[in-house]
Amino acid sequence: MNRITKNITLLLIFVCISCNQKKSDKTYLANYINSVKVDNSLTENPLLIIDGYAVEYETMNDGWFLLLEEDISKVKYLKKENAEKIYGGKGKNGVVLLTTKLQEREIANTKSDKKTLYVLDGEIISVDEYRKIDQSKIIGVGTITEQSAIKEFTSDNYDELIYVSTKMTTE
């Protein structure tokens, strides 16, 4: 299978998964943040930190931001008093700290013997390069454990493949 076919196949998988989700799932994070604002009498959005990266709240409604409730491992609100101590002025409305299941899996992988192959837009990358990916540029992430699909990228033995898409294929 050539690279174009692989990229198109993976893109179609991401689109199918995204299209099959219930509409209410796509609003979970927005609803959570809105409830934080009401509960804490906030007039502005709190700072949103996803897996250690600051994310603009407005991007949740751009259409590319597909973080579903089942993708979230932990979510916690730091009240503004504590948030300002850590984040300075950016924490003036508090901070929503969110950890995804993918991030937890990455942490677990560093502690386990599982061998993971990382692929960015069809190209194999190192774990260090994977950790440096700009989270705001990601449009899809998929975990592949099917050996025949992994063999399309390498003849080496891997337990799983993490495929990250940051752009639409134009080839």
pLDDT in tens, 28-56: 777 788 888 888 888 888 888 888 788 77
Residue bearing tokens 């993708």: 71
| CA trace torsion 153, 155, 160, 164 (10° rounding) | -20
Residue partners of 142: CB distance under 8 A and separation at least 6: 10, 13, 14, 17, 162, 163
Signed CA dihedral, 105, 109, 113, 116: sign only: positive
Question: Which of 62-66, 69-73, 99-103, 158-162 bottoms out in mean pLDDT, i.e. has the lowest?
Answer: 62-66
0.85 exceeded by pTM: no
Q: How far is CA 82 from CA 86, 88, 90, 93, 95, in A?
A: 7, 10, 12, 10, 9
CB atoms within 10 A of CB 146: 10
Mean of per-residue pLDDT scores for the chain:
77
pLDDT confidence of residue 117: 92
pLDDT tens per residue, range 103-135: 777 666 666 677 889 999 889 999 889 888 887
Q: What is the pLDDT of residue 124?
A: 94
Name which residue leads in pLDDT, 23 or 133: 133
